[in-house]
């Protein structure tokens, strides 16, 4: 199995303070990797570095074998990398419909962009009912659906998701996780998921990447992290 995402010794930070140190791991095609760790472990910084919002101070990020250094953020979505940022992914001033259209504007295949938009409405019926509502009128769950659905319109091969379960009811979280699993199995989507909710993340992931203070402390199959009490105690604290 080839790796869609290869992270090699990446360091990054804000100003002189390093947040990520020497982070190395890879995500094989068609799998879900969950990045786990306490607050401040550097999980969000990791995603921001992978999508180029933050420039790495060292190391290398490869997507589909190609080095992403110097690739502008706005070009990444065209290459098949979609990043759903934490919390504020929805443009609050735009309507649901406009948010979704925005997600497909760069695509030259207008027909398929339109079809992808219809698919999102089928996937998330609450969005279809609120097409004309502004982003700020949506509930937390609806916003998460909108941000995720908008990313899917790009038909990405790699999806970076920051805390998709934040503020969601457990039932909605379970639905979203199941959807991710299905997209991986059916369409070969690869997902890198940052989560505080360790149990829900491990229930769906193939691989767990545990971070602490900016370093990867262990990367192991999700099943092992789930079932091996010693590992779980040592790295996840429960």
Q: E strands of 65-194, at which residues?
A: 66-67, 81-84, 158-162, 190-194
Q: Give whichever of 160 and 210 is closer to other proteins, judged by the CB atom.
A: 160
- Residues touching other proteins: how many (CB under 8 A)? 29
Q: Is 73 in the site for other proteins (CB under 8 A)?
A: yes
Q: Give whichever of 127 and 216 is closer to other proteins, judged by the CB atom.
A: 127
How far apart are CB 57 and other proteins at their closest, in Å?
A: 20
- Give Cα 197 to chain centroid, integer Å: 14
Q: Is 159 in the site for other proteins (CB under 8 A)?
A: no
Q: Is 61 in the site for other proteins (CB under 8 A)?
A: no
Helix (H, G, I), strand (E, B) or coil at 165: coil
Cα-based angle 115, 206, 162 (whole degrees, multiple of 5) = 60
The b-or-e profile of 43-75 (16+ CB within 10 A means b, else e) is bbbbbbbbbbebebeebebbbbeeebeebeeee
Q: Give whichever of 73 and 213 is closer to other proteins, judged by the CB atom.
A: 73
How far apart are CB 103 and other proteins at their closest, in Å?
A: 6
Q: Which stretch binds other proteins (CB under 8 A): 10-18, 33-41, 69-77, 206-214?
A: 69-77
Residues of this chain, 78-107, that bind other proteins according to CB under 8 A: 78, 82-83, 85, 88-94, 98, 101-103, 105-106
User: What residues contact residue 216 under an 8 Å CB cut-off, 6+ apart?
Assistant: 23, 24, 25, 209, 210
Binding site residues, other proteins, CB under 8 A: 51, 53, 73-78, 82-83, 85, 88-94, 98, 101-103, 105-106, 134-136, 150, 154
């Amino acid at each position: 199995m080839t790796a869609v995402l290869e992270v090699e010794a990446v360091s990054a930070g804000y100003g002189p303070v390093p947040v990520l140190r020497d982070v190395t791991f890879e995500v094989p095609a068609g799998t879900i990797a969950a990045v786990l760790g306490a607050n401040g472990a550097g999980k969000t910084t990791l995603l921001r570095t992978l999508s180029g919002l933050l420039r790495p101070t060292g190391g290398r990020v490869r997507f589909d074998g190609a080095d992403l250094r110097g690739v502008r953020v706005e070009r990444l979505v065209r290459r098949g990398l979609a990043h759903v940022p934490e919390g504020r992914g929805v443009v609050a001033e735009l309507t649901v419909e406009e948010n979704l259209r925005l997600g497909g504007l760069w695509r030259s295949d207008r027909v398929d962009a339109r079809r992808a938009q219809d698919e999102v409405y089928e996937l998330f019926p609450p969005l279809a009912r609120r097409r004309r509502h502004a982003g700020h009128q949506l509930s937390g769950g609806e916003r998460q659906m909108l941000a995720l659905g908008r990313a899917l319109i790009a038909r990405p091969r790699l999806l970076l998701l920051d805390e998709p379960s934040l503020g969601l009811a457990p039932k909605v979280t379970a639905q979203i996780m199941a959807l991710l699993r299905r997209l991986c199995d059916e369409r070969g989507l690869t997902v890198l998921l940052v989560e505080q909710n360790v149990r829900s993340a491990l229930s769906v992931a193939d691989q767990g990447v545990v971070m602490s203070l900016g370093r990867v402390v262990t990367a192991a199959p999700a099943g092992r992290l789930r079932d091996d009490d010693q590992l779980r105690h040592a790295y996840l604290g429960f």
